[in-house]
Amino acid sequence: MLSIHQMNTYKPLNVAFTHGVGTWLHTTDGRKILDALGGIAVSGLGHAHPKLTKAIAEQAGRLIHTSNLVNIPEQAALADKLCALAAMENAFFCNSGAEANECAIKIARLYGHQRGIANPQIIVMERAWHGRTLATLAATGSRKAQAGFEPLVTGFIRVPYNDLDAIKTIAAHNHDVVAVLSEVLQGEGGIVAARTDYLRELRAFCTEKDWLLMIDEVQSGIGRTGKWFAHQWAGIVPDVMPLAKGLGSGVPIGACLAHGKAATVFKPGNHGTTFGGGPLVSVAALRTLQIMEEEGLLANATAMGNVVADGLKATLAGVAGVVEVRGQGLMLGLELNRPCGEIVEMALEDGLLTNVTQDCVIRILPPLIINEAEAHEMVKRLSTVVKRFLAKASGISIQAA
């Protein structure tokens, strides 16, 4: 329960955890919960990973914060590492996904102004999620999230997802467009993938128009889908890439990476942050990436993602009410044919932490370290609760009829 002194922004589940070990969380009343949420695609290394814990503790004992007014070698090393993994050129570090997207939006606007466009516009997608700051809220495609916060920041043009013709139609009459901002696998939007052919054509079209292609990998990045970044499945390289969630394994850090023309837009004074990319968070992120390599977590995300997805498909085959299992790696969605928010509490009773997005999509984002036995256990617990929910829901509708 929230204290009366906590602002009324969340309706948390009636549970709290004292500690975690790997893919498991321990409740204050002594229960063990299997984590299919991963702190919302954050805790890729699971909980209390010994190598990460050690690195963070050692760095905290040396130096936590200095500021961007001095050199931060740990941040430089992280930038080098991320750019190598992403084939990008440079990085700005911040503290959240919304801030990483703010940085992308500012790059796009300044890029436009530098090219003589006084009123630069960014194309964004229906059902997109980019954050809750004022600019990213305007870029986000959720009226529910926006309602009441008007006037919204202007400069965004919304199009349907996976629809290049809609973008080309805008390009034909609007000469103020400077960028396209999109996820390649929508998370909050319900685990919806962009088609590979669409992404490749969009990449070519942005290049042709001199627009920046800005791929928001805040949720899908850092190995979640089985590649470092989800767009790499399509073999494309974006001009700008916001990152956050999994980057620091729970230590708050975001980044905005840039490539080509986008990499030379900012000059000193254009953007900044007090906390971003400090020694502690940079070490946490760099060590996260190294541990992911040492432990082969990209391959594990693909393999365990297949175990979970195939397992759910098999156990739920033919069950009325189950629409689809979709996604990639360990970013999966299970869509039901009815709103199923209440399944989150039912699952918790059964020892499973999960989440529902877009009312009908159960979202599965476990730690990337999950092992095969745990993946099977996740399938068992999830399919059981889905069947229990659907039986209950259809019982009610029969009674109602």
Ligand X SMILES: *Cc1c(COP(=O)(O)O)cnc(C)c1O
What's the min distance (Å) between Cβ of 219 and ligand X?
A: 3
Q: Which is nearer to ligand X, 35 or 99 (CB)?
A: 99
Q: In one letter, which amino acid is 336?
A: L
User: By C-beta, is 131 or 277 nearer to ligand X?
Assistant: 131
Q: Which amino acid is at 309?
A: A
The residue type found at 13 is: L
* CB 384 to ligand X: min, Å: 28
Q: In the complex, what is the shortest distance from the CB of residue 92 to ligand X, in angstroms, rounded to a whole number?
A: 15
| C-alpha to C-alpha distance for 101 and 142, rounded to whole angstroms | 16
Give bridge partners of residue 363 from the DSSP assignment: 333, 355
Helices (H), 10-93: 38-41, 50-62, 73-86
Which residue number, 24 or 229, has a Cβ lying nearer to ligand X? 229
Give least dist CB 305 to ligand X, A.
18
CB of 189 to ligand X, least distance (A): 9
Q: Which residue is nearest to ligand X (CB)?
A: 97
**Which phi and psi angles does 372 have, rounded to 5°?**
-65, -40
Nearer to ligand X, 189 or 311 (CB): 189
For residue 101, the minimal CB distance to ligand X (Å) is 6
As measured in angstroms, the least distance from the Cβ of 275 to ligand X is: 14
Task: Please name which of 305, 347, 346, 307 lies closest in space to residue 328, comparing C-alpha atoms.
Answer: 305
DSSP code per residue over 282-308: HHHHHHHHHHHHHTTHHHHHHHHHHHH
> What is the CB neighbour count within 10 angstroms for residue 151?
7
R_g (Cα) of the chain, nearest Å = 21
Q: Which two tokens stand for residue 97?
A: 């996904």
Which is nearer to ligand X, 212 or 390 (by Cβ)? 212
| Residue partners of 28: CB distance under 8 A and separation at least 6 | 15, 16, 17, 18
Site residues (CB under 6 A) for ligand X? 96-98, 101, 129-131, 183, 187-188, 216, 218-219, 244-245
Strand partners, 348: none
Q: Which is nearer to ligand X, 187 or 238 (CB)?
A: 187
Residue 23 or 355: the one with the smaller Cβ distance to ligand X is 355
CB of 246 to ligand X, least distance (A): 10
- β-pair partners for 83: none
CB nearer ligand X, residue 243 or residue 393 = 243
- Contacts of residue 96, defined as CB under 8 A and 6 or more positions apart, other chains included, come to 131, 244, 252, 254
Residue 225 CB, nearest distance to ligand X (Å)?
13
Short-list 230, 217, 224, 278, CA closest to 251: 278
Classify strands 331-336 and 352-353 as parallel, antiparallel or unpaired. unpaired
CA 208/CA 275 separation, integer angstroms? 37
C-alpha distances in Å from residue 196, one per residue of 122, 177, 305, 393: 22, 23, 19, 37
* Closer by beta carbon to ligand X, 218 or else 382: 218
